[in-house]
A = this chain, B = another copy of it.
Amino acid sequence: MADKVTIATVARHARVSRQTVSNVLNAPHIVREETRQRVQEAIATLGYRANQAARQMRTGRSRLIAARIEPTRDGINGSVLDRFLHGLTETADAAGYRVMLYTATDDGQEIATYDDLLGAYELDGFVLTGTDHGDPRTAWLADRSVPFVTFGRPWDAPESHPWVDVDGAAGTAQATSRLLANGHRRIAFLGWPEGSGVGDDRRAGWRTTLTAAGLDPDGLHRETEDGVADGERSMRELLATPEPPTGVVCASDSLALGALQAVRAVAAETAVIGFDDTPVAAAVGLTSVSQPLAVAAARCVELLTGVLDGHPTDPQVLLQPALVLRHTA
């Protein structure tokens, strides 16, 4: 490794004081143009980079944000997080921040990790994913006034902290409308047990759309855990009813894939729409609701850096999903 280039090296090279170099970096407007040029040149030729550790010691800011990486549970929906993280890293980078990863198996452990991360690395902020009712993590962070954003609404208290989310109800409403437009009248919904914010939201979009069309949603929905097998089982049940649905909207691509298998097993023609537009959906030709993940990630970074850099933006962002049409509906 070459000799370390510090602010002093640059100062010597540009024949100015260290302070002037620092000013060029942090307050360019107070430096005379000619001097600024000379310093910039020196910086470029020497390949100087401000040492973050030293800067952090002085300013207390690390320009680091943390995000959790989860153990691809079901696998199919895991790719959502993957794409979100990628977007996060790109946008953070552009804003001069870096993303640090951590894992946690439960909320308690995750909070302990916050403590660690904050103490050791003085992280500037957190991006949380998968929040739910009464999330202890947000309370902990808020108590200590640690800046954070969640990707996902706080279902209890919508205005309690900055968040970015995708309008799931609008997504399932779009899906349901699509089926209605195609002439379907008996449209079912496959989702998760009542009580999860995300799941209830997605079901609501389907329900209100059906109701608005003068149709009765009763008996046309099934609730299970998220999984291909669960989706298949539920769909079989629906297909076995006296008046089986001719179309089904699902809360996830996993459920949709299961539904699709059930449909094909009995050689039915039932239309199927999934949620998340995962690679699996693309691969099997499944019509699915797509979340704008890159945009969501970018908004998260904007919100966070806005707070950090003192130019806060509108703290709640609800993005609209889009229906990606393929072969199944």
Choose one: B50, B119, B257, B279; the contact of A47 (CB below 8 Å). B119
Contact B282 A284 (CB under 8 A): no
- Copies of this chain, how many? 2
Partner-binding segment picked from A77-85, A168-176, A189-197, A238-246: A77-85
Partner-binding segment picked from A93-101, A203-211, A309-317: A93-101
For residue A282, which residue of chain B has the nearest CB? Answer: B75
Interface size of A by CB at 8 A reads 57
**Least Cβ–Cβ distance between A260 and chain B, in angstroms:** 10
Known contacts A79-B75, A98-B101, A257-B283; decide if A57 and B53 are in contact (CB<8 Å).
yes
Choose one: B56, B75, B85, B122; the contact of A278 (CB below 8 Å). B75
Q: Does A90 contact B (CB under 8 A)?
A: yes
Contact A83 B72 (CB under 8 A): yes
Q: Does A157 contact B (CB under 8 A)?
A: no
Q: Does A263 contact B (CB under 8 A)?
A: no
Once bound together, how far apart are the Cα atoms of A78 and B64, in whole Å? Answer: 25
Q: Does A102 contact B (CB under 8 A)?
A: yes
Known contacts A98-B101, A146-B1; decide if A120 and B50 are in contact (CB<8 Å).
yes
**Chain B residues near A102 (CB-CB < 8 A):** 89, 93, 98
Contact B76 A283 (CB under 8 A): yes
- Per-position binary interface string of chain A over residues 46-90, scored 1 when its CB falls under 8 Å from any chain B CB and 0 otherwise: 011111111011000010100001111011101101110110011
Once bound together, how far apart are the Cα atoms of A282 and B75, in whole Å? Answer: 9
Known contacts A1-B146, A283-B254; decide if A49 and B116 are in contact (CB<8 Å).
yes
Q: Does A159 contact B (CB under 8 A)?
A: no
Q: Does A121 contact B (CB under 8 A)?
A: yes
Contact B100 A100 (CB under 8 A): yes
14 A-B pairs (CB sep. < 8 Å): A1-B144, A53-B57, A69-B86, A70-B86, A72-B82, A74-B279, A75-B279, A76-B280, A78-B82, A79-B279, A98-B101, A99-B100, A99-B101, A280-B283
